[in-house]
Structure 1
Amino acid sequence: MHLKNHNRVFLLVLKQICFILFVVFNSTTFAQGPASNWYFGLRAGIRFDNLEPNTLLDSEMRAFEGCTSYSSESGNLLFYSNGDTVWNRNHQPMPNGTGLQGHPSATQSVAFCQLPNTNSKYFIFTTDGFDLNVGLRYSVIDMDLDGGLGDIVVGQKNIIVLDSVTEKLGIIEKCDKSGYWVITNQTLGNTIFTYSIDSNGLDTNANVSQGQISYSSLGAKFGYLRISSKGNYVALCHEMKHKVELFQFDNQTGLLSNPIVIQTPNLINLPAQSKPYGAEFSPDEEILYITPRNGFEGYIAQYSISIYDSTTIKASELILKDSIWTGALQLGPDGHIYGSSLYHLFEIENPNGIGSAANLIESAVYLGGRPAYDGLPNFVASDIVPPIPNIQICIGDSIAFDYEQECAISYFWNFDDPGSGSSNTSSFSNPVHTFSDTGNFNVQLIVQYPTLSDTFSNIITVVLPPAPGVLKDTTYLCSTQPTYLSAFQFGAEYTWENGSDSSAILVNDTGWYVCTIYNACTTIIDSSFVRFVEPLNIDLGIDTFLCDSAIIALNAFSAANVESVMWSTGDTASATLEISHSELEPFSVYWLTATNACGTSSDTIRIEFLAQPDVSWFSDSVLCDQLEATIANPQQDSVTYFITYTTDDVLNDTLDEPWRIDTFGLYYLHAFNRCDTVVKRAFLSPFNAIDVSLGADTVLCPGDSAVLNAFWPSSSYVWSDGSTDSILVVSHDDLLGAGSEMYSVTITNGACQRTASRSVSIEDLLCDTSNCKFSIPNVFSPNADGINDVLKISNKCSSVSFSVDIYNRWGQLIFSDQRAQGNTTIKWDGYINGAVASEGTYFVIIQADDRVQKGSFSVVR
């Protein structure tokens, strides 16, 4: 069985340089449990949410002194009481919850504790007040009754335990977790009674201890009995004796021993003896707080009890505050001690501190106008073990654990450190562990008791020493934004020169900022000079060009205020990017993205490569075969060209396009673009065309010959057969072997040349042996000049019928006439479907009565 999730204590020894740290291990971070809700005074109350006290105004209880409340482990209210009535969580009296024998004006009129091994039953103990002599009694609450709101069990109400007791009542859990000890003292004499509660219920046979202070009358009953939360001390305030009695407590036997009597000093502003009323121990059990008073005058006293010696304890007395209304003291789940003071609670923020280090805060919690009176809730002392911050150590330091519990029979530690191998667990009560790495480690301890086990955990943070240089020598921050300067390092704490303890501070001004950074390892001081920068506005300029052999530099910002850059080239280090024309194809787009404290800015630019104007093609030339030459504009990208006769009057001497050269002489070519202007001179001479044609391709019949005439004045000739005459004669017999031959001639006249050619072939089947041969011209020119405009095909024999088909060079039929008879002439005007036929060679097939004649002719214009 697992014990309910209470907080528990054990000792942690941190092996650093002569440094020992006592810690509290918590089973849950913010589990406030039974002491989450406090109800007291005249319908006053507070609730601890995440360890912060908040005022409650829903109470129905009036309690001048004694009172208590009880909450679930998750912090939800279950019930509360003043010793006379028990209210449920809906603030209604339980059906059988009135008429209890506690007195609302008794110092500790009531206390609750849970019955061991049950989830729904609770003891409620009561004491009477004044001289009523009703005694210590108990009742049993069953939370299963009244629909889950709880009620006192019939027949188990106001059961007498001990008659004639004082108003003192305290409860603490046993060290073996098997139950509780209930402590009170008798009205007469000096006997202190400790009763045991276990799974069998209440044992009415008390363990008896003796004190030094004895009572002889029923009226001397007032003042608190307080048990320390760790269960090692008990203090009894004897108000009418003006003394406090301090005991050591044995949690295994329930016995009190070694009493020390503390005489509280008189009031400072009132010549009267003080009456000690409230008492509380610090969480570390080293300090006892007392609130002596007399009437409306009181003070808060502090005693150091770490050395358990009467003389030493009395000599340690300190008055934290005098002339203050005081009543009860109660340790809260946040580790602070609270005290009743009229319409407020005062607070001792650091009860482990001596003197001013305890930090007393008057009027710390306002109760919404409702008086606290004298009392505060009387909780089970061990139910309130305040949380502590997570523990931090330096990497490499060893840490020793020691669980303070004599009743445990076995231990199992898990250090949440797999990197430590077999050292990650231990079964010792006081293991030593060195963590293998930095980080947060959730250390767990399972303690086995005779009848149950309990589990605790806490976070141990292992850190590296703070590293210098987190703050840059110079830090650039944005002038247009609320900007923070951060010194963050894992596990570190911070103190800035302005007093801030945050890892980052809001920075408004230029100047030096200094931060002290510290953790369990060491302390360093880091600093940075802050400069403010404006938002970036990256501007690479307008799109531009780059000339041959030139270099351009793109520079869009000052590198001083830029944190990072990225060029489209991949460069991440340069503020300037140099580009040469060789990198452009024929243009490139470049972009830059830069970041500073204000954000990111970017821009893009298009750079075009412009070549040097090319005039190499313009030179001294003889323009062959042209009486009038035309020079084409070369259309070089980005370059403009024009030609002039002179360089003096460019405007009036410029040739119109297309440039026609009809006179020899000097001409000037002008070429320019955005990079350069070039002017080049050349002598141009147009030359008459060598206008020679060898005629149309020819088919020779036996006995025929063809004359190929290439004559041109003042020229020389080279034929394809090597002859050099102007005329070449080809006969039918010359082609008997080859069947056909292409004859060509190169004609040279000065600097100019021309080549002409003609095909000559033999085809006997086409030859007319009847002497009725068709006449096919070898050329005609349908240019409407009246000369040779029509192709005429005829036959001198009147008895021959024939048809004519004409084909173009691709074998397409373009003309056909089937009407020829006798001497009829077939004519073609050189048009194809209404369009002028293009120049070139055409083929004709003549179908006669007894033969076919083929030939070809040329169309020229």
Structure 2
Amino acid sequence: MKNLLFSLNLLFTLVIFGQNQANNWYFGQNAGLNFSSGNPVALTDGALNTPEGCSTISDSTGNLLFYTDGIDVWNKNHNLMPNGSGLLGASSSTQSGIIVPHPGDNNLYYVFSLAEIAGPNGLRYSLVDMSLDSGLGDVVVAQKNVLLYTPTSEKISAIKHSNGNDIWVVTHEGNSNKFVSYLVTNSGIIMIPVVTELGHSPIDVYDNIGAMKISPDGTKIAVVYSSEVLELFEFNTTTGKLSNNIQITDFNQGLSLSYIYGVEFSSNSKYLYVSESQDGIIQFDVSSFNYNDILNSRYDIATNGMSFGDLPHSALQLGPDKKIYVAHFNNEYLGVINNPNSPGNQVDYEYNGVFLEGGISKAGLPPFIQSFFYSYIEVADSCLGDSTAFSINGSQNFDSVLWDLGDGTISTQQSLDHLYSASGTYQVELTIVDGTDIITQTKEVTVHDLPEANIPTDIILCSNVLGDPLDLTSQNQLILGNQSNLEFDITYHLSYQDAEDGLNAILSPFQTEQSETTIYARLFNLNNSKCNSITQFQIKYENSPEFELYENWYLCEGQNVTISLSNNFDSYLWSTGEVSNSITLEATGEYWVEVSNIYGNLICTETKFFNVIISQVAQINSVEISDWTNNDNTISIEVEGLGDYLYSIDGINYQESNLFSNVKHGDLTVYVKDKYNCGTVTKDVFLLYYPRFFTPNGDGFNDNWLIKSLETESDYTIDIFDRYGVLIKQLNSQDNFWDGTFNGFKMNSDDYWFVLTLLNGNMYRGHFALKR
């Protein structure tokens, strides 16, 4: 260990690549940020006023060196360098340029500049020597605006060569599908580029607009074109060549006035972010480098719905804190994607993330060598009691590795598992020696408290509330115990797997139709849901009493009524105070009975109300008869009394209706009884009938005309007339038929009329025919 530390001290005087060189940003209208404290702090001293392109560079300790808009170069005092004007870049280019340190000389920096929309100035470089102008730096006269390639689109990015020393600078030829890669070495820029002809060609000059970024691990390049085209390539940091392109188009299903502008990778190179005018910010998981997987992984983080030119979400840029910052055109805030290494629903995007303290964001943010942001430390927050796994991203072998895990533990292993003894946040530092480079990175690792879910009591309810809403949060305090609800929260699930995965949480209030349900409670740390504990309890429904009871019970006058229930229940309580399963009542009124099943401390009850109603023997007020037919007569019985009655005309077959139809003539008795057998009343009636014709021909059949069923009438008269109103015959109870003669003479075949007069004065009329 001592030898390793001694070696580190010796090498610390050499180039420390990427340390803090992206700590200062100047962009937009007098806007700036400083990341030296770990969090961005607004800078208000910048001289820059650019609608888009800009670039900044700091030294290895984070001190500002200079910045540019692609046309002018300002030193750290915010003054133009003596020869810092007239660069042939364009401030209105998406990426007007990038600043690249000379790998072999700490005083030299290359300022690469780009023209706008495939203009003739193309890609050029100007060399800044920091030893000039008393250490404030200046552009070397002999190496200013040196043409490298023309025309070019508004795209540029840089990454370290696989040798860990040299730097690739990659741009895109204007109006073509060629990528151009220049290598910056200890000897300077190799002027012959590596050209890859692959992928999309801009459909017009404006399609040259849009950014390009290389992933921090150097394996991928992403390019966007304003015509709604996103391309992803594999990149070889040894050869500078691109291969295996994947193209995604039509982000808005053909909507007009939509375009893509910004693009950026997460520091772990797993996720790609794109800013689009209609859909806002979109995340893709590009780790598989498979078209379908990438397309299906799309997650819309923020939406715009803006028109062309509004640029609400413009440039995207990784910061030293591994967060991605989002330019909002003409806004005093930058947006921030706080967790870009996480899947879409966990990225925590803040639209107004950083206040610029008077500065104004435009469309651009300064690009840097993407290797600056490569996250060597691979670690995730853990739970107390679980091992925390540390490893180094990538498969590269380094000369030496030194871990400081923040709790006094030191290790020289490439990867290791460590068990922290207490919860808290630890500052982990990784120092890597790679040839002449010393790379030091720090990262905060939080070990979260692991909750312990207490087993709550089961929820036991009565079945007569089955299906009613149930507040599961009533179990929260039992599960938490003495643990704080400010640190932990609880979700409820229907399966253990769902609880373990944190999926398909049950909403409260909860409803179930099952008599027994197992509920899994997931108690988790609010700051890291992976730190969780699972317990379970039952929701059970015990049987409530079920019994039938008539709503109305009928009491015969002078009698009582007994009501009996099943004796299978645990307790009974009647409104009279009776506690047995049956009751005898003698008075009318409204009553209730409460029946219970008892399960320990749980009492399930069912209460029903009923009425006791008097039932009297009916009184027949009248019997209305419609007769004079053979078998189509009707009888209607009118009664009074307190009761529910049934009616009959034979004493055997009863009906609820008091109306009888299709009744045959003759003597009848009507019967009325109440449904509850309190008594029956009767009344005799008779139905009259007269024949419609008779045939007095002496054959012994139908020789006489008479009205049937008059036998019960004590006296009556029947007058028979011919068609001319002549009285032909008068009948009575002693002489009750006519033989068809008048004064001993046979009457002719004809129609005859009659009038029946009863003793009570009722009169009935009709007519009949005599046929010979």
State the TM-score, normalized to the length of structure 1. 0.47
The 1-side partners of 2:264 and 2:181 are apart by 19
1:109-157 Cα distance to aligned partner (Å, 9 max, x none): 1110111132221110001113521111111111111111111112011
Match 2:70 to one of 80, 83, 86: 83
The 2-side partners of 1:135 and 1:417 are apart by 49
Aligned residue identity for 2:298: E
The 1-side partners of 2:163 and 2:105 are apart by 17
Cα displacement (A) at 1:410: 3.4
**Equivalent residue runs for 1:839-850 within 5 Å:** none
Q: Does 1:135 align with 2:122?
A: yes
Cα displacement (A) at 1:457: 6.2
Match 2:263 to one of 250, 271, 279: 279
Cα contact 1:176–1:408 (8 A) shared by 2:
no
Cα contact 1:226–1:236 (8 A) shared by 2:
yes
Instruction: State the secondary structure of the residue aligned to 1:496.
Output: coil
CA 1:235–1:408 in structure 2 vs 1: closer, same or farther (change >3 Å)?
same
Question: Equivalent residue for 2:298?
Answer: 317
Cα displacement (A) at 1:85: 0.3
Cα displacement (A) at 1:185: 1.1
CA 1:462–1:331 in structure 2 vs 1: closer, same or farther (change >3 Å)?
closer
Instruction: State the secondary structure of the residue aligned to 2:79.
Output: coil
Aligned residue identity for 1:311: N
Cα displacement (A) at 1:291: 1.3
Question: Equivalent residue for 1:65?
Answer: 52
CA 1:397–1:247 in structure 2 vs 1: closer, same or farther (change >3 Å)?
same
Instruction: State the secondary structure of the residue aligned to 1:195.
Output: strand
Gaps of 5+ in 2: 1-10, 307-311, 455-481, 490-522, 535-772
**Equivalent residue runs for 1:345-384 within 5 Å:** 345-384=334-373
The 1-side partners of 2:40 and 2:427 are apart by 28
CA 1:402–1:163 in structure 2 vs 1: closer, same or farther (change >3 Å)?
same
Instruction: State the secondary structure of the residue aligned to 1:314.
Output: helix
Aligned residue identity for 1:310: Y
**Equivalent residue runs for 1:460-479 within 5 Å:** none
The 1-side partners of 2:67 and 2:173 are apart by 26
Cα displacement (A) at 1:38: 1.6
Question: Equivalent residue for 1:145?
Answer: 132
Cα displacement (A) at 1:447: 4.3
Match 2:484 to one of 496, 504, 516: 496
Question: Equivalent residue for 2:187?
Answer: 200
The 2-side partners of 1:210 and 1:356 are apart by 37
Cα displacement (A) at 1:231: 2.1
Instruction: State the secondary structure of the residue aligned to 2:21.
Output: helix
Match 2:148 to one of 143, 161, 165: 161
The 1-side partners of 2:401 and 2:320 are apart by 27
Instruction: State the secondary structure of the residue aligned to 2:104.
Output: coil
Question: Equivalent residue for 2:239?
Answer: 253
**Equivalent residue runs for 1:8-19 within 5 Å:** none
Cα displacement (A) at 1:83: 0.1
Cα contact 1:87–1:93 (8 A) shared by 2:
yes
Instruction: State the secondary structure of the residue aligned to 2:371.
Output: helix
The 1-side partners of 2:149 and 2:189 are apart by 12
Aligned residue identity for 1:249: F
Root mean square deviation, CA, Å: 3.9
CA 1:442–1:40 in structure 2 vs 1: closer, same or farther (change >3 Å)?
closer
CA 1:442–1:48 in structure 2 vs 1: closer, same or farther (change >3 Å)?
closer
Match 2:197 to one of 210, 215, 220: 210
CA 1:437–1:6 in structure 2 vs 1: closer, same or farther (change >3 Å)?
farther
Gaps of 5+ in 1: 8-30, 470-493, 502-513, 526-861
Cα contact 1:264–1:274 (8 A) shared by 2:
no
Question: Equivalent residue for 1:50?
Answer: 37
1:149-195 Cα distance to aligned partner (Å, 9 max, x none): 11111201111111211111111222432121100011132111111
Question: Equivalent residue for 2:212?
Answer: 225
1:535-555 Cα distance to aligned partner (Å, 9 max, x none): xxxxxxxxxxxxxxxxxxxxx
Question: Equivalent residue for 2:630?
Answer: none
Match 1:288 to one of 244, 252, 272: 272
Cα displacement (A) at 1:43: 2.0
Aligned residue identity for 1:223: G
Instruction: State the secondary structure of the residue aligned to 2:208.
Output: coil
Question: Equivalent residue for 1:307?
Answer: 288
The 1-side partners of 2:213 and 2:403 are apart by 35
Cα displacement (A) at 1:229: 2.1
The 2-side partners of 1:463 and 1:274 are apart by 44
Q: For the pair shown, which has the larger CA radius of gyration, 1 or 2?
A: 1
Cα contact 1:348–1:358 (8 A) shared by 2:
yes
The 1-side partners of 2:532 and 2:344 are apart by 27
Cα contact 2:451–2:531 (8 A) shared by 1:
yes
Cα contact 1:495–1:516 (8 A) shared by 2:
no
Cα contact 1:299–1:326 (8 A) shared by 2:
yes
Instruction: State the secondary structure of the residue aligned to 1:147.
Output: helix
Question: Equivalent residue for 1:105?
Answer: 92
Question: Equivalent residue for 1:473?
Answer: none
Aligned residue identity for 2:334: L
Question: Equivalent residue for 1:122?
Answer: 109
The 1-side partners of 2:382 and 2:342 are apart by 22
1:499-551 Cα distance to aligned partner (Å, 9 max, x none): 699xxxxxxxxxxxx997999996689xxxxxxxxxxxxxxxxxxxxxxxxxx
Aligned residue identity for 1:332: G
The 2-side partners of 1:405 and 1:389 are apart by 10
Cα contact 1:194–1:255 (8 A) shared by 2:
yes
Cα displacement (A) at 1:355: 3.4
Instruction: State the secondary structure of the residue aligned to 1:168.
Output: strand
Cα contact 1:176–1:407 (8 A) shared by 2:
no
Cα contact 1:495–1:517 (8 A) shared by 2:
no
State the TM-score, normalized to the length of structure 2. 0.52
The 1-side partners of 2:192 and 2:73 are apart by 27
Instruction: State the secondary structure of the residue aligned to 2:235.
Output: strand
CA 1:4–1:452 in structure 2 vs 1: closer, same or farther (change >3 Å)?
closer
**What percentage of aligned pairs have identical amino acids?**
32
1:558-616 Cα distance to aligned partner (Å, 9 max, x none): xxxxxxxxxxxxxxxxxxxxxxxxxxxxxxxxxxxxxxxxxxxxxxxxxxxxxxxxxxx
1:616-675 Cα distance to aligned partner (Å, 9 max, x none): xxxxxxxxxxxxxxxxxxxxxxxxxxxxxxxxxxxxxxxxxxxxxxxxxxxxxxxxxxxx
Cα contact 2:449–2:525 (8 A) shared by 1:
no
Aligned residue identity for 2:340: P
Cα contact 1:396–1:434 (8 A) shared by 2:
no
Cα contact 1:176–1:449 (8 A) shared by 2:
no
The 1-side partners of 2:233 and 2:186 are apart by 28
Cα contact 2:180–2:196 (8 A) shared by 1:
yes
Cα contact 2:166–2:183 (8 A) shared by 1:
yes
Cα contact 1:164–1:187 (8 A) shared by 2:
yes
Match 2:164 to one of 174, 177, 181: 177
Cα displacement (A) at 1:495: 7.8
Cα contact 2:15–2:438 (8 A) shared by 1:
no
> What is the number of equivalent residue pairs in this alignment?
454
